[in-house]
Amino acid sequence: MTINETDIEDCVQSGCLAHNNTFHNVSSQEQHLIQDRLLNYYDREKRTMPWRKPTRIDLDSKALGQRAYEVWVSEIMLQQTQVATVIAYYNRWMEAFPTIQDLANADIEKVNELWTGLGYYSRARRLWEGAQKVCNELDGLLPNNANDLQKHIPGVGRYTAGAVSSIVFNQITPVVDGNVIRVVARLRAIAADPKKANTVELFWEIAGTLVSKECPGDFNQAMMELGARICTPQNPQCESCPLQKNCYAYAQKEIHARLKTEKFWEQKKRKRTIDHECTYCPEIKSKLDDDEDYAVTRYPMKPEKKKPRDEECAVYIVQSESKYLISKRPKTGLLAGLWEFPTLELESLETTYKERSAKAKGYLHERYGFDQEDIKITKRQDLGNVVHLFSHIRKVYHVEWVQVSEEYYGQVEDDEQQMKWVTSEELESCPIPTGLKKALGLLEKSRNKK
């Protein structure tokens, strides 16, 4: 071990993991050991990815700008999405928009089309808006430091700014994402709520202490790689971890096992040697004596998840012969700028088909200009419902198939509202939300039964 075992043993012997704030500190000796071990691991084990290239600060400004664009796109895509999924999307994106100028000149429809299936569609619009700002206001080059990236580029937060500036421009700045939080929480046995502001700052502070001054980009990528492949949420591979000897969580587990073998917990005169004085980690009132209480996976603390709110809507798949009616969603808000079937948000939950069906004609007339005297509904069928989960919403789509006599929509007051009739082939390439693709699946399933 290269850590202070005495402090950790006192912590474990307390029976409630008592400690103070300095317990989470990283000594200068440990900083260098962690950097060396992690960079060696990264040199040996790093995965090949299309956006991952050696840092080259000797490149000219144009070449650095191109690298910054590539890393920026990859980091935005990787938010909430796994590497294996992103690679194919990234390659298609770079083929369509090989430079930031190409993206800035693109039509938002094409941007959304290429993003279809990745989810969190606002990311695509922010990339497009960011590219336009860079090309119109910043001479076509992304800023070369974290502060300016975060300040000037839409959708670039603290993490993305740190990733781009360290990986491309070799700036000594940390990154903190879910993987890094998990690694740091276990390295320093931080049991604080990772969503609280002071805990977030603690993670950034420790990550900033650890980052290599010589190879900040590689070090940051190594931290994320370690969290993704070794220090995983469940079943971490501690025996393969290059930072095992620096890990407080692992040390606590091992010391508890030794004390248990020595029957330390059965000693009647055993006294609690330290009090809990940490202002980050909550005090544990109950005695911890099970092996599970000292598992590495107790870190980081799991905050209570807020239950997503329930919402329901009626989806009308309006078809005329071989074409379907779709319209574009507003430019802002959930699923901004995507195409959808006529969709009516319902004010109450658990509505009946009869109630939803009764609203259809009025809704199609008001929203789509359907003139009930000129257009005839030839068939209607309840297709059931599908559920789609957003990060904060549980959405139920009640789906009805509405066949009409002709391709029609009338004039509406909203000049910006866009509508069109599309074939099945055209529908496949349209940027349509995943939830509504599930709705279309109900129609296909119904047809296959016949």
- 292 in active site: no
Of 9, 30, 75, 225, the active-site residue reads: 75
SS (H, E, C) the chain: CCCCHHHHHHHHHCCCCCCCHHHHCCCHHHHHHHHHHHHHHHHHHCCCCCCCCCCCCCCCHHHHHHHHHHHHHHHHHHCCCCHHHHHHHHHHHHHHCCCHHHHHHCCHHHHHHHHCCCCCCHHHHHHHHHHHHHHHHCCCCCCCCHHHHHHHCCCCCHHHHHHHHHHHHCCCCCCCCHHHHHHHHHHCCCCCCCCCHHHHHHHHHHHHHHCCCCCHHHHHHHHHHHHHHCCCCCCCCHHHCCCHHHCHHHHHHHHHHHHHHCCHHHCCCCCCCCCCCCCCCCCCCCCCCCHHHHCHHHCCCCCCCCCCEEEEEEEEEEEECCEEEEEECCCCCCCCCCEECCEEECCCCCCCHHHHHHHHHHHHHHHHCCCCCCCCEEEEEEEEEEEEECCCEEEEEEEEEEEECCCCCCCCCCCCCCEEEEEHHHHHHCCCCHHHHHHHHHHHHHHHHC
Q: Which residues are catalytically annotated? A: 75
